[in-house]
Amino acid sequence: MTLDKNFLWGGATAANQAEGGVLEGGRKLSNIDVLPCGEDRKKVALGELEMLDWQDGYYYPAKEAIDMYHRYMEDIQLFAEMGFKVYRMSLSWSRIFPNGDDAEPNEEGLAFYESIFKELRKHQIEPLVTIAHFDVPIHLIKTYGGWKNRQLIEFYTRYAETVLKRYKGLVKYWLTINEINILLHQPFVGGGIIFKEGENQEEIKYQAAHHQLVASALATKIAHEVDSRNQVGCMLAGGSHYPYTCRPEDYQEAINRDREGYFFIDVQARGKYPNYALKKLAREGLNIVMEVGDKEILAASPVDFVTFSYYCSRTVSAHSEDYEQSTGNIFASIKNKNLPSTEWGWQIDPLGLRNSLNQLYDRYQKPLFIVENGLGAIDIPDSNGYVEDEYRIDYLREHIQAFKDAVEIDGVELLGYTTWGCIDLVAASTGQMSKRYGFIYVDRDDEGNGSLARSKKKSFYWYQQVIETNGENLSSENLNIEK
């Protein structure tokens, strides 16, 4: 087996990390817009520090981001030059429904995305569209409490139905909710949730998760009704857990931690709550309200394919306090001494990608799609903006070889691969621009200075070659580089 000739090579961005144009074209604030750069960012993301508007003394990188709002035609031209078959992007909920609960959508926002899809079509690039990528309008947080409130199911499905109908014939690949399991780790990011003193935080998170799962199933149902050609996927923040030792209790801990994320995808892919999740909720006394008809909604509309992000594996132990912890990633992990680390402490494990692919495919027997994978690194450009980023090429080469092995040796059914941050953008975890992922350098620093000019890195030409050869030539020698 080799990669299918129609394998979807491309790259990925998110509206809140690339678009900018906040408060332009009728758009209003969302939760990610108010995440500041700096030490308070994590507190806001966790729902521990309430920040529902821009405040003096903070820099908000999403406000302008890399200004794709005004530069998308230039960026799509660069993607086309690389040979993209697919471009994963997200819609801004608050650009289409500025308050989230509006009776009618914002036409200017709808027209903006329609123009993007038409530009992609002109270049024969298939859009893969995430309906909600860490994006909750601030009004829904202030008025309803975010996804803890069941009314968000109604608002989300209205939003989903609007875009599914509007873009019929322009988009056929959809994702309902990005990295849905992040809700358990960063509730404000994943669900617009801010905790009040005395609240049962675990119960609130799982109640919000139930609301998102029902909303996702309803969106999937609508997508299939609107256009039978629509394909709908779910999205997991992936990466398998390794037991730190061969002690049985460490292995059990790895199983439990994998299940923490698989719970969401089990429901979305199989249409019902897994027994282990129901036992956990009962054992921990978490009273999750499920309305009459919810089980039927979940059962009626499982997703068509499963997507996930993969940056690193994670290592856990039943006695994790005894070991050195890795840094950077929002998922707690013991530092794996068998693996190198990035400048931000994320551990590099290409074989872990193959392992994750096999685990997911064995579990769901549905087509898979890697929709995020990349290396965040400090790039030093020359006077022309060119970056000799061999380190990024090395990272991606090894991960591409790993997923090729999963397909060619293990028989995993893989639809495509979109690298994260195909163009430099605002890093979600830190708000930094200096943590760069792209094939395209953007002249912007962590304080918002720079011309925003785009320039091609060495990896641009390498990925162009990879796509052209359908992954057969992964060498970075003798590239046709234009400086």
The catalytic residue positions are: 372
**Distance between CA 152 and CA 107 in Å, rounded?**
21
Burial class (CB in 10 A: 0-12, 13-18, 19+), 91: buried
- Cβ contacts of residue 183 below 8 Å, gap of 6+? 147, 190, 191, 193, 205, 208, 209, 212
Return the bridge partners of 325, or none: 334
Position 32: which residue type?
A: I
**Secondary structure element (H or E) that encloses residue 340, with its range:** none
Token pair recorded at residue 391: 């380190």
Q: How many CA atoms lie within 13 A of 154 on its CB side?
A: 8
Residue whose structure tokens are 């929709």: 371
Find the distance separating the first CA and the last CA of the chain, reported in whole Å.
Answer: 37
E-strand ranges in 112-248 read: 126-132, 173-177, 231-237, 241-243
**Secondary structure element (H or E) that encloses residue 336, with its range:** none
Return the bridge partners of 352, or none: none
**Distance between CA 38 and CA 399 in Å, rounded?**
31
